[in-house]
Chain A
Amino acid sequence: MAGFIDLYTEGNSFLHRMDPRVKIASVLLLSVLGFLLTRLYSLLLLLGLIFLLLFLARAGLGKTTLALKALLRVMILIVALWPIFDPSGTPVLASLGPVKITEPALWRGVTSAVRVGCLATVWYILMLTTSQRDMVRALVKLGLRFDFGLALSISLRFLPTFGLTIESIKDAQRARGLELDRGGVMRRARNYVAVLVPTIVSALRTAETLSLALQSRAYGARADRTYLHDLSMRRSDAVAIAAVVMILVVPAVMKYLLGYEL
């Protein structure tokens, strides 16, 4: 279950070593770029660039292959469904009752699919090369209150544990004859109370001990708390952020100030 939340795979590429704040900023900027570009060819160029980055991450081949396969399915679905909701333009390639499939609509579908591909892949790269710990640190450094950052990292840390607890509770109740996968919606909802209540109780008990443990370690003792590991920018990080800004700024200027269609 935790596999879906924690895509991080260890590695030694420049992306792994990049300051997580720079990575988050870059991903945001590249996402903006994805919306700024409207022509299919520009978006394909962007997709190519992003795939190059993915390749340079040099990590998690198996995971990535699965992820890309899933992405491809979504992209094909977008292309297939787009014309159904957007019947404008000519020439019409096929029609079935009220549904008209036009060539321009198909191309618009492809463009959207490529855009989705860009966004999904660039965020995937972020998750692949950045550990949860670094993500939370970056957010705190960027201004998130330490309390919230701690709450976030504690939640992430306990997610797999809760997954196991829920599995254990399900097993325990199934051993008392509870059938969780039978019956209609109403019956199943009622059956799940037998799983939900112990889960909540378990969560509350954990939270109680957690709270005592946090206090025992002097949490909140001083506002000027120190950090063993601190993020520090290096020259390569500055170069990277400058490059990404350029990649965004140049097309933006071209499009909005010089009137090019991108």
Chain B
Amino acid sequence: MIPRPLTDRGERVISIRDIKFTYENGPEALRGVNLDIRSGEYVALVGGNGSGKTTLAKHMNGLLRPSSGSVEVMGKPALDRTVAELSRIVGYAFQNPDHQLFCSTVDDELAFGPRNLKCPPEEVTRRVEFALDIMNLRDVRGEPPLSLSLGERRKVSLGSVIAMDPKVLILDEPTMGLDAVQSRELMATIRKLNDDGHTIILITHEMKLVAEHADRVIMMASGRTMLDADAKGAFTDLAILERCKLVPPPVSKLAHRLVERGVSKDILSPEELVFELMRLRGGP
């Protein structure tokens, strides 16, 4: 697999026009969403439970079809393709890795996706090797995935989606349940994938993660997008954060409290805050 050339960036990979969706016997989950995802972007899709973020994500790979409006993937209507066909382009790593793992070895698990896509055996091997390397799973390749720790199971689950070589990767709460070391390792791998040209859509409610990694933030509440801006801008409006049932990281909260003292509202990290405080103090 070769990293995608920079000229690829900027093209629209997913186009969503005014989609509405209601679950059977349920409330209206999406009330008119419009957005474009461009190649190479690192997007955070955030919101509280029931905001519609997962529902929206499932429209991107065809798991759900809108009741009105349109979804286009790589310029063609998603409706014209099955979920299996769309899975070549849009990979989806589910929140619970145990909902995907079932094979007797990690190798088989990683090969499952490419085999479903009817790749020839040499291609399957190549993709499995790539996934093993990028997810750092070589040591456990012969183990049963279900016997691994949670952190490793998440890596296998993500690896099995990467092995399908999709252009877009949707990751639903990839760091849930992981401690600091495992989380940092996983996010670094995701960053590398983005650097290599994969479009990343990160579904999360951990605003610290968003602050550290995403370029663009789409905030949802009650089936609508409340905000679609670059990451810095996402934290300046506390009212919108509250409406989307999101909690800004402690440093951001602190920065907002000190706004009257001259501290800027878009501070996201401890280093930035201390730098700003020193500046305001007016000393060496």
- Do A and B touch, yes or no (CB under 8 Å, in the complex)? yes
Question: Which residue of B88, B100, B117 is within 8 Å of A172 (Cβ)?
Answer: B100
Q: Is the CB of B102 within 8 A of A197?
A: yes
Across the interface, which residues of A come within 8 angstroms of B102, CB to CB? 193-194, 196-198, 201
Give the distance to chain A from B40, nearest Cβ to Cβ, in Å: 22
Across the interface, which residues of B come within 8 angstroms of A171, CB to CB? 58, 63, 94
Q: How large is the interface on B (under 10, 10 to 19, 20 to 34, 35 or more residues)?
A: 20 to 34
Question: Which residue of B94, B96, B116 is within 8 Å of A177 (Cβ)?
Answer: B116
Contact with A along B74-99 (1 / 0, CB 8 A): 00000000111001100110101011
**In whole angstroms, how far apart are the Cα atoms of A77 and B120 in the complex?**
51
Across the interface, which residues of A come within 8 angstroms of B84, CB to CB? 174, 177-179
Question: Which residue of A168, A176, A196, A202 is within 8 Å of B116 (Cβ)?
Answer: A176
Nearest B residue (CB) for A196: B102
Q: Is the CB of B112 within 8 A of A169?
A: no
A173 at the interface (CB under 8 A from B): yes
Question: Which residue of A176, A178, A193, A194 is within 8 Å of B161 (Cβ)?
Answer: A176
Q: Is the CB of A205 within 8 A of B98?
A: yes
**In whole angstroms, how far apart are the Cα atoms of A41 and B187 in the complex?**
76
**In whole angstroms, how far apart are the Cα atoms of A46 and B63 in the complex?**
50
Interface of A: prevailing SS: helix
Q: Is the CB of B98 within 8 A of A175?
A: no
Nearest A residue (CB) for B172: A172
Interface size of A in residues (CB-CB distance below 8 Å): 20
Q: Is the CB of A202 within 8 A of B98?
A: yes
Across the interface, which residues of A come within 8 angstroms of B117, CB to CB? 177
Q: Is the CB of A174 within 8 A of B83?
A: yes
Q: Is the CB of A172 within 8 A of B99?
A: yes
- List B136-171 residues whose CB lies under 8 Å from chain A: 146, 160-161, 164
Across the interface, which residues of B come within 8 angstroms of A176, CB to CB? 87, 100, 112-113, 116, 160-161, 164
Contact with B along A230-252 (1 / 0, CB 8 A): 00000000000000000000000
Most buried by B among A165, A174, A194, A196: A174
Nearest B residue (CB) for A175: B92
B61 at the interface (CB under 8 A from A): yes
Across the interface, which residues of B come within 8 angstroms of A174, CB to CB? 63, 83-84, 87
B214 at the interface (CB under 8 A from A): no
**In whole angstroms, how far apart are the Cα atoms of A201 and B98 in the complex?**
8
Across the interface, which residues of A come within 8 angstroms of B112, CB to CB? 176, 178, 194
Question: Which residue of A173, A177, A196, A198 is within 8 Å of B98 (Cβ)?
Answer: A198
5 contacts between A and B (CB under 8 A): A174-B83, A175-B61, A175-B83, A176-B87, A194-B102
Counting from the closest, the 7 A-B pairs by CB-CB distance are A177-B116, A197-B102, A175-B92, A172-B94, A172-B99, A176-B113, A177-B87
